[in-house]
Amino acid sequence: MAGDYRADWLRVPVGEDATRWATRSDCHRVLAIVHNVTSATRLLDVLPLFRDDLRIQLLATCTGSSPFQSGVAELLATLGVPVLPWEQALSTPVSLALSASLGGELGGVPGPVVVLSHGVGYNKRLATPDTGHRTPDTGHRTPDTGHRTPDTGPVFGMSPEWLLADGEPVAARLVLSHPEQLARLRRYCPQAAPRAVLAGDPCFDRLLKARPNRERYRRALGVRPGQRLVVLNSTWNAESLFGDGEQPHLLGALLDRLTSELPVDDYRLAAVLHPNIWHGHGPGQVRAWLDRAQRCGLTLIDPTEDWRQALVAADAVIGDFGSVSYYAAAIGVPVLMAAPGADRLDADSPVAEFVRTAPPLDLGRPLAAQLADVIAGHRPHPSLAEQASSAPGRSAALLRRTFYDLIRIPEPDRPAALEPLPLPPYRPARPLIPLLVRTGRQPDGTVLLRRHVDPAAPATGYDSSHLAVHEDTLETHALEIADLVFRDGSPDDPRLGGPARWTAELLRARPHVTLAVFVTGPDSCVLRVRAGQLLDVRTAPHTADPLACASALLGWLADGGSVRKLAADGLWLCSGGQRHRAEVTPLEG
């Protein structure tokens, strides 16, 4: 073997003696160049365009040029294609290389390189550093400090600093999604303009294709009828919504306000955070920072797979100057701008114009009123979708044509297609923090219900209140004064002994508790009242939260109602502005 062969280099399907070991050795090699998890997500959008083609061997590599290396190895492992060390990739001829960033020495790749944007076009300005070293994560140069204002810096992905090497374009093709990007490219780096190709936006196309599945995504996120799904979105860096730059206390104040002001039956909260937040600070640290918000009902969305489904499902987004906020607005979701980051953006870009004109979040006003106003008054702007892509729904065909032209082989006969967005796992909201529940009774017997995590939240029109507490709450002192104690679980879990035994044990152990509730499924629970009756409570699929039904039943009893009448007529409750009926069935035990 050659003297420069390294033990960690692959020997199959590439390598000096690969033909000896490979089952299919006469394939065109397509190399996915990964810089970090962020850029990899865009490559995952387009790699399925090579499905079913026995002429293609997919490979992957990581440049190692990004400081955000956490999560890359795991992502590449799930991709399941051979992973070359970067040095071997630079020594291995390929028919095509795909990159969604400009970091590393792309000019050294032995084959034509196609560069795609990993956001909605190229919009961010980056400060010019004192060092001449290329970097990191997006391939941009690194300023001396993360808090420098890049208001006069070059536009990443549009400037010679990233697009040229020794005066020549690095990319054989630079994929743009709209002619306005080409116009800016001609101004900022005319040498690279001949390499540009207008081929749409695969991420945007997947969002468009997924819109008919909106209700399924909402159910997957546990959004009940009458609830509004509010998605918080943050890009990375100090000026973002999550950052501690210009508004260091914004995120904490916003989370406190959202979880305290919004009734849990009226609003469902989720958060989409940039992969560089997750993998820069660590998933465990992010969860620790947001622990109380999660216990109040906030769901953290997977930053590589499920964020698009969350946008499709959303009623409103509270976001910042990142691409995700723009994607949300482009598919018609109202956006409240919490961190505009004006100095971070190219003033001539569509994203900058969107940030300037989006309604701002005002922490001086009640958040429920702002959300109601922005949802009720929202009128989608067609220009946002138009500027996201000049070829909506056509990126698969345009990109595959570009790729196969560079490989120099005919395209497959079947139509090009992107992967549909998968249905996310079921993620119901079950607050683990004590809930103050207010109930009232209408003349027709319907129980009005409002639940808050903040005992000081204002409410009128309710006659009584009680405290509902999860058995595993961190606020263990609340268990000593709880009126209702609940838990989720499988009826067959031997550790709990089944709903009948658990409810009986709970009431014996906590004599001050009036109602013990075992939530058995998304639409059912078994509960035991202090008098001893064991009841099965069920609603129609995906209507009322079974825990809300339990609280309504407790409110019914507190107002003098009888279990016998509920068993005969059912329980009617109104929560989140919706009226529901629950079946109440006495059980033995």
pLDDT digits (tens, 9 = 90+) for 327-356: 999 999 999 999 998 788 999 999 999 999
What whole-number distance in Å separates Cα of residue 91 and Cα of residue 78?
25
> Which tokens sit at 490?
């499988």
The whole-number average pLDDT for the span 474-490 is 96
What whole-number distance in Å separates Cα of residue 300 and Cα of residue 429?
11
Percent helix, strand and coil across the chain, each rounded to 5?
Answer: 35, 20, 45
pLDDT at 127: 54
> Please, are residues 98 and 134 in contact by the beta-carbon 8 Å criterion?
no
| pLDDT averaged over every residue in the chain | 92
What is the maximum span of the chain, computed from C-alpha positions, in angstroms? Answer: 89
> Please, are residues 264 and 547 in contact by the beta-carbon 8 Å criterion?
no
State pLDDT tens for residues 218-267: 999 999 999 999 999 999 999 999 999 888 889 999 999 999 999 999 99
pLDDT at 146: 37
Give SS3 for 291.
helix
What whole-number distance in Å separates Cα of residue 424 and Cα of residue 219?
10
> Please, are residues 291 and 259 in contact by the beta-carbon 8 Å criterion?
no
Torsion region of 222: left, alpha or beta (phi above 0 gives left; psi -120 to 50 gives alpha): left
Asked whether residue 141 carries a pLDDT value surpassing 70, the answer given is no
Asked whether residue 408 carries a pLDDT value surpassing 70, the answer given is yes
Angle value at C-alpha 471, between 577 and 368, nearest 5 degrees: 30
What whole-number distance in Å separates Cα of residue 371 and Cα of residue 264?
15
The whole-number average pLDDT for the span 147-156 is 59
What whole-number distance in Å separates Cα of residue 556 and Cα of residue 575?
14
Asked whether residue 143 carries a pLDDT value surpassing 60, the answer given is no
Which uninterrupted H or E stretch holds 186? helix 179-188
CA distances from 195 to 113, 114, 172, 192, 219 (A): 11, 9, 6, 6, 44
Question: Would you say the C-alpha torsion 159, 164, 167, 172 has a positive or negative sign?
Answer: negative
Which residue, 184, 207, 182, is CA-closest to 196?
A: 182
> What's the N-to-C CA distance of the chain in angstroms?
76
What whole-number distance in Å separates Cα of residue 162 and Cα of residue 139?
7
State pLDDT tens for residues 409-454: 999 999 999 999 999 999 988 899 999 999 999 999 999 999 999 8
Asked whether residue 159 carries a pLDDT value surpassing 50, the answer given is yes
What are the domain boundaries of the chain? 30-126+136-201+391-407, 211-379, 435-587
pLDDT at 132: 36
**Amino acid code (one letter) for 547:** L
**Amino acid code (one letter) for 413:** D
State pLDDT tens for residues 176-206: 999 999 999 999 999 999 999 999 999 999 9
CATH 3.40.50.2000 fits 211-379, yes or no: yes
Please, what CATH class does the domain formed by 30-126+136-201+391-407 belong to? alpha beta
pLDDT at 343: 82
Percentage with pLDDT > 70 across the chain = 95
CB-based contacts of 347: which residues, under 8 Å, 6+ apart?
A: none
pLDDT at 5: 62
What whole-number distance in Å separates Cα of residue 99 and Cα of residue 63?
10
pLDDT at 4: 57
pLDDT at 152: 55
> Which tokens sit at 157?
């992905």
> Please, are residues 98 and 63 in contact by the beta-carbon 8 Å criterion?
no
Asked whether residue 135 carries a pLDDT value surpassing 60, the answer given is no
State pLDDT tens for residues 1-21: 344 568 889 999 999 889 999
Question: Phi and psi for 27 in degrees, rounded to 5?
Answer: -110, 150
> Please, are residues 265 and 575 in contact by the beta-carbon 8 Å criterion?
yes
pLDDT at 329: 97
List strands edge to edge, sheet with 96-99: 83-84, 56-62, 28-34, 96-99, 113-115, 173-176, 196-198
The 3-state secondary structure of 434-484 reads: CEEEEEEECCCCCEEEEEECCCCCCCCCCCEEEEEEECCCCCHHHHHCCCE
Count the residues in the chain: 589
> Please, are residues 146 and 131 in contact by the beta-carbon 8 Å criterion?
no
The whole-number average pLDDT for the span 132-136 is 37
User: Where do we find the tokens 């014996």?
Assistant: 508
> Please, are residues 162 and 153 in contact by the beta-carbon 8 Å criterion?
no
User: With bands split at pLDDT 50, 70 and 90, how would you rate the model's confidence at 284?
Assistant: very high
> Please, are residues 133 and 124 in contact by the beta-carbon 8 Å criterion?
no
State pLDDT tens for residues 33-76: 999 999 999 999 999 999 999 999 999 999 988 888 999 999 99
State pLDDT tens for residues 80-109: 999 999 999 999 999 999 999 987 789 999
Which uninterrupted H or E stretch holds 97? strand 96-99
Which residue, 119, 152, 120, 125, is CA-closest to 140?
A: 125
Which of the 8 DSSP states describes residue 160? H
Is there a common fold for 30-126+136-201+391-407 and 211-379? yes
CA distances from 421 to 45, 116, 416 (A): 10, 20, 16
Asked whether residue 387 carries a pLDDT value surpassing 50, the answer given is yes
> Which tokens sit at 498?
């089944």
Query: Taking the mean position of all CA atoms in its chain, how far away is CA 557?
Result: 41
List, in sequence order, the alpha helices (H) in 211-331: 214-220, 250-261, 275-281, 283-289, 291-295, 307-313, 323-330
User: Where do we find the tokens 């400090």?
Assistant: 145
pLDDT at 150: 42
